[in-house]
Amino acid sequence: MRAQPEASHFIDGAFVEDAAGAPIDVFHPATGEVIARVHSATPAVIDRALESARAAQAVWAATAPAERGRVLRRAADIIRARNRELSELETLDTGKPLQETLVADATSGADALEYFGGLADAITGEYIPLGGPGDDFVYTIREPLGVCVGIGAWNYPTQIACWKAAPALACGNAMVFKPSETTPLCALEVARIMIEAGAPPGLFNVVQGLGDVGAALATDPRVDKVSLTGSVPTGAKVYSAAAAQLKHVTMELGGKSPLIIFDDADLEDAVGGAMLGNFYSTGQVCSNGTRVYVHRAIKERFLARLAERTAAIRIGDPLDEATQMGPVVSAAQHAKVLSYIELGKREGARLVCGGQALPGPGWWVQPTVFADVTDDMRIAREEIFGPVMCVLDFEDEEDVIARANDTEFGLSAGVFTRDLKRGHRVIARIRAGACWINAYNLAPVEAPFGGMRKSGVGRENSRAALDHYSQIKSVYVGMKPVDSPY
Ligand code: NAD
């Protein structure tokens, strides 16, 4: 098998196997071939991972923050040096084209490790005076939470592992990471690289498994925090399991984000933004702008140019660097996306282009655009997570803001307009956590990323992530004789 890892899990600085766990086949989505087989973590494996994380966390929390930062930055350097091999593995695992994985996966993980490595020795408390010199005062200490669990989705496996591990480790925590069962391979390489970079064994462990392993981790009393990237239904389950023990959580969940294109927008930019926000990673991006509201005055021109540029997308072998779109990740996702395409046809949306599966082997779908979509159609309300764009019409700014906000989600939003004031005015009123004006789907580590409403809790990336992986201790210091009435 062409991508078989040394063993299923990575615990305490080494690959670990326990063949008693249920086997999980790993498929290359472009061919459907089995490229690896891993085993789900048994209770013994989970126990070992948590115990070693606990021991490593104690060592790590006692390590100078500057040294912690150096370890993370070395890991970033190693990832960059191995970008090609990591990207090829990511492409085999996810089916995303190498053209994308070379620039958006391991490199994005490296950015996070470098950024949080740089911040590790700047995670400080504050001094709070309560009077003048010599009077009582308070100081604060920013402490780690302890052992954090990361649970990943399958669309950005390396990035998700690093986006969770980097701030967690910078703050002095350890992490046990469970990748998605669909894409278990790359997190193991991240774990290997952490050790090479000088992290203590056990600081970043990887265990494989389905939802039951995630649930076992999320409910274990040795775990202080759970950070999930996944769908809203899974988020609700993990959030309530964590709540039963009052654990900290970060929830990065799904979306059905609006992208509003006004009639004064640069048409090429707007078409390019809508395509990036619907077809990148074969449409399997949580922040995708899948409800594209286009002003009626430019709608037909927009659709014509969109159809022309969509027809030119190079679909094919994702390992060929010229390929721009690969398959969807799995047979299940393939069936789901195709069922939504059929639903769109039945609901009466106008099929502008695509609308079919492409022949296998592997799980291929044509990039698909529906126009004349209305807000009540299920294709406009539910997350499809495939290359399916819904174009809706609007004329009035107030009206489109209300319609954009009429969703249970709140992950992302975008506006294309040349009117500076309108761009800011509209975004200010959209209820979404990660927004763009005249751009779409760029997520630099410097910017907070995360959702409002059912799209999530907490933020990844940026300084904001540090708040979600640390807790504040305040210390009151009495400088005077104790004034006790007793
Ligand atoms: P999913 O919810 O099916 O699974 C996510 C992870 O949770 C997997 O590792 C799975 O094994 C685990 N899991 C399932 N049940 C569990 C349980 N009861 N307890 C603990 N863990 C459990 O999601 P998916 O299909 O892997 O990924 C696609 C979804 O992820 C989409 O909805 C997408 O929008 C979302 N996503 C969000 C972001 C973000 O940053 N907001 C990023 C990527 C993907």
The string of pLDDT tens digits covering residues 143-201 is: 999 999 999 999 999 999 999 999 999 999 999 999 999 999 999 999 999 999 999 99
The domain limits of the chain are 9-254+455-473, 258-437
**Catalytic annotation present for 189:** no
Other residues' Cβ atoms within 10 Å of the Cβ of residue 83: 17
CA–CA distance, 329 with 335 (Å, rounded to integer) = 11
The string of pLDDT tens digits covering residues 99-143 is: 999 999 999 999 999 999 999 999 999 999 999 999 999 999 999
Which CATH architecture is the domain 258-437 placed in? 3-Layer(aba) Sandwich (3.40)
Q: Which atom of ligand 1 is nearest to the CA of 180?
A: 9
Q: How confident is the model at residue 1 (pLDDT cuts 50, 70, 90)?
A: confident
Q: How confident is the model at residue 376 (pLDDT cuts 50, 70, 90)?
A: very high
The answer to the question of whether 211 is labelled as a binding residue is no
Mean pLDDT of 44-51: 98
218's enclosing H/E stretch is helix 211-219
What is the percentage of the chain residues whose pLDDT exceeds 90? 100
Q: Two tokens at 24?
A: 């999980």
**Catalytic annotation present for 286:** yes
Q: Give me the amino acid identity at 479.
A: M
The string of pLDDT tens digits covering residues 49-80 is: 999 999 999 999 999 999 999 999 999 999 99
The answer to the question of whether 100 is labelled as a binding residue is no
158's enclosing H/E stretch is helix 157-170
**Catalytic annotation present for 460:** yes
The answer to the question of whether 178 is labelled as a binding residue is yes
C-alpha 286 to ligand 1 mean position (Å): 10
C-alpha 381 to ligand 1 mean position (Å): 19
Residue with structure tokens 């004789």?
481
Among 176, 234, 384, residue to substitute to test ligand 1 (most atoms within 8 Å of Cβ): 234
What is the percentage of the chain residues whose pLDDT exceeds 70? 100
The string of pLDDT tens digits covering residues 342-361 is: 999 999 999 999 999 999 99
Residue with structure tokens 């775990």?
223
Which CATH architecture is the domain 9-254+455-473 placed in? 3-Layer(aba) Sandwich (3.40)
The string of pLDDT tens digits covering residues 276-313 is: 999 999 999 999 999 999 999 999 999 999 999 999 99
Q: Two tokens at 410?
A: 């709140």
CA–CA distance, 285 with 291 (Å, rounded to integer) = 14
Mean pLDDT of 393-411: 98
Rg of the Cα atoms in the chain: 24
CA–CA distance, 121 with 124 (Å, rounded to integer) = 8
- Looking at residue 102, its pLDDT comes to 98
Other residues' Cβ atoms within 10 Å of the Cβ of residue 418: 13
What are the start-end ranges of the H helices in 122-210?
Answer: 157-170, 186-196
**Catalytic annotation present for 148:** no
Tell me which residues have their CB closer than 6 angstroms to ligand 1: 151-156, 178, 180-181, 210-211, 214-215, 218, 228-231, 234, 237-238, 252-255, 286, 383, 385, 411, 451, 456
What are the start-end ranges of the H helices in 82-151?
Answer: 83-94, 98-104, 106-119
What are the start-end ranges of the H helices in 248-396?
Answer: 267-279, 299-311, 331-347
- Does residue 144 contact residue 468 with C-beta atoms inside 8 Å? no
